[in-house]
Amino acid sequence: MKNQKNRETDFAKGLEGIVSNTTRIGYVDGEAGKLSYRGYDIEDLAEHSSYEETVYLLLNGKLPTLSELEEFTDKLKGNRTVADEVMNRITHLPCPCHPMSMLRSGISLLECIDDTCRIAEDLEEKKEAGIKLIAQTATLTAAVARHLQEKEPVPPDPALPHGANFLYMLRGERAKPLEERVMDLSLILHADHGMNASTFASMVVASTLSDLHSAVSSGIATLKGPLHGGANERVIRMLTGISSIAEAEAFVEKVLAEKTKIMGFGHRVYKTYEPRAKILQGYAKKLTELTGNEELFEIAQTIEKRVTEAYGSKGIFPNVDFYSGLIYHSLGIDESIFTPIFAVSRIAGWVARILEYLEDNRLFRPRAVYTGPTDLPYVPVRERG
């Protein structure tokens, strides 16, 4: 045992820096501040693409033709409906559940009544199940949000694209064009992001040849944790707790003096200004002007300016959570739904990476370094002091 312990002393806590697989789906260049999906820069996709097209790209490895995009969009629209049995169950859970727990339960219930994706080796069947889940996750999330407001779910509108329909199901009425555009943009920006915790968790489950619903459920469960999803909830609490620019300046000075963490700044991978935050910043300004939240944007800008001056040289800049929280708040979305919206988008990346990994699957089986005692003598229970 002693020799084995010595051979296993090298490890990376949290698997940081460990390469677990190869991928063609997405690439994060933290030093250069670049993010790409299937070789396409996120800034180009944000400007020209749609969530439907982005999902098609992630799943199929290429941008669709017009006819392919229309067919794929129709497939998403045709799979939006969630059975009443599932809707009734998630809105009548016998506890004040976290919205992510409600969403996770909904996905599990769908697996119980859905005949797709039962053959673990059939990747095409898994892809069809994944497309259906991508569509249904938005419907489930909107239903959870409505339930928390003590309102009835709103059926999906087949005439609307994915992001616009999601806002419609949240509100019960059509959103303004800029609001729909910003929601679509946010879904694009969150669709995939390297080997993050929830993506890895879903791939681990899928590598056992379990069903796709279980793999996605594990992704949702992982995303629920505040160290992964949920950071933008804390950002908006911080911003809305500050009443003026002067108060924002005083707040930043206090935090800098105490050297405590400021929510929405810094990233484990990016060492420069994150591209997703840069894109959302411009739209946050337009959206806050539209919705009457200009002062909140100015408070955010004040905090960003001072923190960047203090820590920019150390690679600490706003991350995507800093502006996504502000955007969702300006869209009138309660903070409890911020993380479920993350899942509405990221499920595309989960499904794409699961399918890719299963093309040449190998069960994930890392090792652990044993640091406990060895060679302890067993003492019968009656002889123990």
Q: Count the Cβ atoms, other than its own, within 10 Å of residue 67.
A: 8
Please give the structure tokens belonging to residue 359: 């093309």
Please give the structure tokens belonging to residue 339: 């993380």
Q: Count the Cβ atoms, other than its own, within 10 Å of residue 377.
A: 4
Nearest of 191, 236, 246 to residue 329 by alpha carbon = 236
Catalytic, 321? Answer yes
Measured CA to CA, the distance from residue 173 to residue 164 in angstroms comes to 10
Please give the structure tokens belonging to residue 141: 């999330």
User: Using CB atoms within 10 A of its CB, is residue 258 exposed (0-12), middle (13-18) or buried (19+)?
Assistant: exposed
Catalytic, 267? Answer yes
Judge contact between 274 and 190, C-beta under 8 A. no
Catalytic residue among 190, 213, 321, 329: 321
Please tell me what DSSP assigns to residue 150. Answer: T
Catalytic residue among 190, 193, 267, 329: 267
Residue 248 belongs to what H/E stretch?
helix 245-258
Residue 37 belongs to what H/E stretch?
strand 34-37
Please give the structure tokens belonging to residue 71: 């067919």
DSSP helix/strand/coil, 166: helix
Counting Cα atoms < 13 Å in the Cβ hemisphere of 97 gives 19
Nearest of 45, 124, 62, 14 to residue 358 by alpha carbon = 124
Please tell me what DSSP assigns to residue 178. Answer: H
Catalytic, 329? Answer no
Catalytic residue among 228, 329, 334, 360: 228
Which residues are annotated as catalytic? 228, 267, 321
